[in-house]
Amino acid sequence: MDKINRRKFIKSAGLAGGALSLAGVAGAGYSAGADKDSFTGYGRTAYGEDQFFNRKPFLVDKPTYVQEGEPVRITSIEDIFKRNGELSRLMFSRNGDQPAWKPSDGLDALPGYLRAYYQANPGAFDEFIKAMQKGREQRTNWDKYRDKYFIADAWSNAHSSPIRGRSSFPAEPQGKPEESDFRGVNKKRLKLKSPRHGSELLKKICYSFGASLAGIAKVKKEWVYQGSLRGIGRVDYEVPSHWKYAVVIAVPHEWDSMYANPTYGTSYDAYSKLRFIAGKMEVFIKELGYSARPHVPPTSYDLVMPPLAIDAGMGEQGRNGILITPELGANTRLAAITTDMPLEPDKPIDIGVSKFCKKCRICAEECPGGAISFKDTPGEVIRGYRRWKIDQNKCFTVWNSVATSHARGCRVCLSVCPYSRKNNWIHNFAREADPRDPTGLLASGLLAMQKKFFTYPGGQEYLPPPDGNNRTFGEAPGWLRTEEWFDL
């Protein structure tokens, strides 16, 4: 009798145990998902632990971008910010003079080099006029949205404060690179054990300054801008011989605000962080006795960052033109320091991003400006490399359209990218398993789930009314929502 009762007890306990264990994994799963500490980066560790993905199995000799024909250096005027910078210098007088040019003067009144760009790129000028128009609408409509994005705007402005003006850090280079890059270099230099030691050390120091990812690349001349050089101005120049290697660093945006793009997020959080790290790296390398030149956001670059980072083995290029890394996905912001210190470059990696992007197209579907290509395969050869074309003009029009206090950016293509995910068990499974699957079936399956299960508002929805509904991709975190802290 007693024995039967005990048996009965164990049997029912077994059932209860099974059910409770399921509840347990449900709870463990929920907290793994909700855990804010499973976001990568943001100074959680100073020892490189954020670069947690083991790249060794995926190292390749040749980067995954495809060269076709002779590489051509990008002229600075081809970059929308350099181009807009030139235009704004013409449009807004600095010291009370008459503006040299206004949009109604038209294309023909522009200086030759600008006119040449717009003539070679039909539609770009109209798009610029449209962006100006949208910018005016953005400023008039800002009153309507000011309260809602009060904290987000303040937060962004706080992040941008170290970037504005002459006193920003690191200081802009002055004069020729042969002078400015060597200014303040320690005369005393110790003998480096080996270039490998140099690379190891610099990466460790990058991490200690707060970089999430760090890599070393050899400077290829085709990644260097042509037509203007910081410290000198508009000039055609050969790549200085002391720009031998680049230390490339990456940090993410704060994740919760990044998911709430375009209106709640900002670019400046990652920008200011990168400037701080790169500026300190400049000083550190100079203290070791070698030349150093930081290349930092938003526009203080002499090199194009994504291909350099691909060379440094940090990731691959995505359909959205952004560097996609295994740890941060597309939520990757880049800076670099060029130096003549003897270093050992990292090898590029192939984790299947370029294959995945062919199938995915989520960023193209979600882009509010339709600036990202829908083509099956990279459709155009741009400056000697086959890639998907990003319409930077359309992209910039969206900057001027979304409900922010000024053209502060959009970044929706960072948020929606399936690679931009947390460092937890479920996403790590995808991270580790997908690049090891040669058939691509897993990627297709995961992508199907991504598209069917997850909610994507769709490109137009991110725009303000009447075009859209000011949607954000993810929900804004409580700390960015004005209504939770202030009486409205």
Partner 1 sequence: MFNNSNILEPLFWIIMGGLYTVFIIGLAMWLKDMKVKMNWWKWSLTLLWFILLSITVAGGFTLIGENELRAGLLFMAVPGAVIIVAGVALGRFLLRNTNEEKDN
Partner 2 sequence: MKKRIIDLVTVLAVASVIIAAAVVGKKIAKKNDLELIGSILKPGEEYEAVNNNKWLILHESGKVKDCIYSGEGRGYNGNVQVAAVTDTAGIIMSVHLLANKETPSFVSKIFRRNFTDRFKGLPASDLAGSEVIIDAVAGATITSNAIKEAIIVGYSAGEGLKHNHSFKINAGWPELLVLLLFILSVLISIKRLRAAGKYLQWISWGLSVIFLGFVLGQPLTLPRFITVFTGYLPDPRSELYVLILPVLAIGFILISGKNNYCMSVCPFGAMQEILGAVGNASEIRLKRFSLVKYIQWGITLLAVIIALIMNNPSIAEYSVFGAFFQLTGATVIFILLMLSIIMSLFFRRPWCRYLCPVEGVMTYFRTLRRAVINIFRQ
Q: Smallest Cα–Cα separation from 282: which of 186, 360, 369? A: 186
Per CB under 8 A, 13 contacts partner 1: yes
Q: Taking a C-beta distance cutoff of 8 angstroms, is the pair 385, 370 a contact?
A: no
CB nearer partner 2, residue 120 or residue 190: 120
Least CB distance to partner 1 at residue 8 (A): 9
What is the rounded distance in angstroms from the CA atom of residue 138 to the CA atom of residue 399? Answer: 9
Q: Taking a C-beta distance cutoff of 8 angstroms, is the pair 215, 309 a contact?
A: yes
Look at residue 154 and give the partner it binds from partner 2, partner 1, none, a contact being a CB closer than 5 to 8 Å depending on partner kind: none
Q: Which amino acid is at 231?
A: G
Look at residue 458 and give the partner it binds from partner 1, partner 2, none, a contact being a CB closer than 5 to 8 Å depending on partner kind: partner 2
Per CB under 8 A, 454 contacts partner 1: yes
Q: Taking a C-beta distance cutoff of 8 angstroms, is the pair 316, 358 a contact?
A: no
Look at residue 377 and give the partner it binds from partner 2, partner 1, none, a contact being a CB closer than 5 to 8 Å depending on partner kind: none
* 204 alpha carbon, distance to own chain's centre: 22
CA dihedral for 472, 475, 481, 484, sign (positive or negative) = positive
Q: By the criterion CB under 8 A, which residues form the site for partner 2?
A: 123, 364-367, 370, 374, 452-453, 456-461
Per CB under 8 A, 129 contacts partner 1: no
Least CB distance to partner 2 at residue 49 (A): 38
Cis check: omega of the bond before 298, within 30 degrees of 0: yes
Least CB distance to partner 2 at residue 26 (A): 18
What is the rounded distance in angstroms from the CA atom of residue 40 to the CA atom of residue 328? Answer: 7
CB nearer partner 1, residue 7 or residue 164: 7
The angle that helices 268-288 and 150-160 make with each other, rounded to 10 degrees, is 20
Q: Hey, how many other C-beta atoms are within 10 angstroms of the C-beta on 243? A: 21
Q: Taking a C-beta distance cutoff of 8 angstroms, is the pair 181, 293 a contact?
A: yes
CB nearer partner 2, residue 365 or residue 437: 365
Among 377, 449, 464, 473, binds partner 1 (CB under 8 A): 449
Per CB under 8 A, 12 contacts partner 1: yes
Least CB distance to partner 1 at residue 140 (A): 33
What is the rounded distance in angstroms from the CA atom of residue 283 to the CA atom of residue 294? Answer: 10
CA dihedral for 55, 60, 64, 67, sign (positive or negative) = positive
Least CB distance to partner 2 at residue 421 (A): 21
Among 1, 10, 129, 472, binds partner 1 (CB under 8 A): 10
Number of residues binding to partner 1, judged by CB under 8 A = 37
Give every strand in the sheet of 66-67, ordered side by side: 66-67, 385-387, 380-382
Least CB distance to partner 1 at residue 260 (A): 11
Among 5, 453, 466, 488, binds partner 1 (CB under 8 A): 453
Least CB distance to partner 2 at residue 123 (A): 7
What is the rounded distance in angstroms from the CA atom of residue 76 to the CA atom of residue 141? Answer: 33
Q: Which amino acid is at 80?
A: I
Least CB distance to partner 1 at residue 34 (A): 4
Q: Hey, how many other C-beta atoms are within 10 angstroms of the C-beta on 28? A: 11
Q: What is the DSSP letter of 330?
A: T
Least CB distance to partner 2 at residue 142 (A): 21
Tokens of 108: 């023909």
Per CB under 8 A, 433 contacts partner 1: no
Look at residue 365 and give the partner it binds from partner 1, partner 2, none, a contact being a CB closer than 5 to 8 Å depending on partner kind: partner 2
What is the rounded distance in angstroms from the CA atom of residue 329 to the CA atom of residue 360? Answer: 14
Q: Which stretch binds partner 1 (CB under 8 A): 4-12, 70-78, 162-170, 192-200?
A: 4-12
Per CB under 8 A, 298 contacts partner 1: no
Among 64, 424, 428, 444, binds partner 1 (CB under 8 A): 424
Look at residue 425 and give the partner it binds from partner 2, partner 1, none, a contact being a CB closer than 5 to 8 Å depending on partner kind: partner 1
**Bridge partners, 451 (sequence order):** none
CA distances from 285 to 291, 308, 314 (A): 7, 19, 21
Look at residue 364 and give the partner it binds from partner 1, partner 2, none, a contact being a CB closer than 5 to 8 Å depending on partner kind: partner 2
Q: Smallest Cα–Cα separation from 36: which of 331, 230, 252, 254? A: 254
Q: Which stretch binds partner 1 (CB under 8 A): 14-22, 83-91, 118-126, 378-386?
A: 14-22
Q: Which stretch binds partner 1 (CB under 8 A): 11-19, 327-335, 356-364, 437-445?
A: 11-19
Least CB distance to partner 2 at residue 365 (A): 4
Question: What x/- string results for residues 22 through 61 when contact with partner 1 is judged by CB under 8 A?
Answer: x-xxxxxxxxxxxx-x------------------------
CB nearer partner 1, residue 182 or residue 456: 456
Tokens of 194: 């080996």
Tokens of 51: 């670069």
Least CB distance to partner 1 at residue 329 (A): 14
Q: Smallest Cα–Cα separation from 294: which of 147, 168, 132? A: 168
Where on the chain is the footprint of partner 1 (CB under 8 A)?
7, 10-18, 20-22, 24-35, 37, 422, 424-426, 449, 452-455, 474-475
